[in-house]
Amino acid sequence: MKRLSGLAALLLTSAALACPVKQGYVANGLFKNTAGAKPICGPLYQTFRFSMAGVKWTEMYEVKAGRVGQLRTSDFLALIRRGRYRLVKQNKTVRSQVYLFERGSHSITVVVGVSGGAQYIGLAGQ
């Protein structure tokens, strides 16, 4: 019974920590969320987080391209560039885009993709 209670507590704790976004900010609090980006905190985020093992932080947001008033990928990339991060590498395929930005010893990886009908942008940093 103790073991089951401990497991339940662990699962509840991990679910509460599943979306580490600082409200009103993106990129681990580096930039104001001026575009009103909506965080993704479910299974898609968990998959991204596990795929980025070794980074200090990860976040994921919903992206709706082409609609007036909606967040676009370019909005995120512009935020990072305004933060004096420089683009050092990019890779584009049919279903995804990956960008690596650096500023000194800090880096931000941006992953843009599609999962089912959802477009998303994942951010990971050191």
Cite the beta strand spans of 1-126 per DSSP E: 25-26, 31-32, 57-62, 86-92, 96-103, 106-115, 118-125
Is 57 in contact with 39 (CB distance < 8 Å)?
Answer: no
pLDDT band at 71 (very low <50, low <70, confident <90, very high): low
Mean pLDDT confidence for 10-34 = 68
The answer to whether 54 and 125 have CB atoms below 8 angstroms apart is: no
* Ranges 23-32, 60-69, 91-100, 105-114: which has the least confidence: 60-69
pTM equals: 0.78
Amino acid at 47: T
Neighbour count for residue 69 (Cβ, 10 Å) = 7
What does pLDDT average to over the chain? 79
